A = this chain, B = another copy of it.
Amino acid sequence: VTEVRTVAVVGLGLIGGSLARDLSARGISVLGYDRDPEAIRGALEEGVIASALGAGLEGLEEAEALILALPVERAAALLETALPRLGRARFVTDVGSTKRAIGDAAERLGLGERFVGSHPLCGDHRSGWSASRTALFQGARVYLCPTPASGEGALASVRALWSALGAHPEEIDPATHDQVLAWTSHLPQAASTALALALRGAGIAPGELGPGGRGMTRLAASSPALWTGIATENAGALVRAIAALEAELRALRTALSDGDEGAVGRLFTAARAWTGEG
C-alpha cells in the first residue's frame, strides 16, 4: 500500500473496521483497538488485525502510522493518549466528519507536521464493526485536510494510503471543509432526522412510508452519538444551513397557502433543474 508495514487503527467501526480489512488484505500488519471488546475479538478472529492495543494504547509504539477512526468528540482526547507512544509513527490521520477541531488539537500537541486529517465520504446510517466491509472506499471521495503545520511527507503518505484503497483524495483546508460539509452532509442528516421527528409527532409509523419516504428517513437511523458530536462541533455552520432549509420550506408552504400554483411550480422546477435531471 504505502511505505509503512505496521498501521494502528483505533476504532473498529464502519470506517475503522473497513480500513483494517483493506489494509490487512494488502499485507499491512494492523494493530487495532476498540472500546467494544466484541469488535476486537471479531477483528482478531477474522485475522483482520494482527494484535490488539491495550486500553491505554499500549503497543502503539510499534506502529509506523496511526489512524483515528472514532467519533469526532473523542478523537482529540485519544490523540493526547497516543502522543507519548508515537515515536515511530511517520504520519497520523483521522476519518472524522469535521476537520478544524482535530487539526487544531494535533497542532497544539506538537503533532502538526505528522498530522493530516482525512474524511472519506462513504459512511451511511450503519455503524459498528458488524457494518464494516472490504472495498468500502473504492471510488469514494476522501477529503485530505492538511493544516499549515502539516509536512509534505505526511501529506504524500496519507494520499498514497487512500489511493491504494481505491479512493479519490482531494485536498481542502480544514475550515473550508467544515463549511462545505455543513451543507453537503450535515444538513442532509439534519433534514432526515427532523423529518423522522415530524412523522413521529404525527403518529406515522415507518411501515406506512412508500419507497420515497423510506429513502428520506434512512439517515435518521444513524448513530446519535456520532452525529451529536459532529453537529455540535460544526454548530456554527450547521445552524446557518438549517435556517436556509427552513426558509425554503417556508417559501413552499407560503406558496401553497396562497394557492399560488405558479410559485409552487417554479420551486419544484428550480429544485429539479439543480439536480441536473430533466
Contact = CB atoms under 8 A, between A and B. Distances in A.
Interface string A203-214: 010101111110
A239 interface: yes
A188 B208 contact: no
Contact of A264 (B123, B217, B231): B231
A254 to B, nearest CB: 9
A238 interface: yes
Nearest to A180: B208
Contacts of A225: 265
B183 A202 contact: yes
A204 B180 CA distance: 8
B202 A188 contact: no
Interface size class of A (residues with CB under 8 A): 35 or more
B257 A196 contact: no
Interface in A121-140: 121-125
Given A239-B253, A256-B232, A183 B204 contact: yes
Interface of A: 121-125, 141, 180, 183-185, 187-202, 204, 206, 208-213, 215-225, 227-228, 231-232, 235, 238-239, 241-253, 256-257, 259, 261, 264-265, 267-272, 274-278
26 contacts: A125-B212, A180-B208, A183-B198, A183-B202, A184-B204, A187-B195, A188-B215, A188-B217, A190-B252, A193-B267, A194-B245, A194-B249, A194-B251, A194-B252, A197-B251, A197-B274, A200-B271, A215-B215, A215-B216, A224-B271, A224-B278, A231-B268, A232-B259, A239-B256, A242-B249, A246-B253
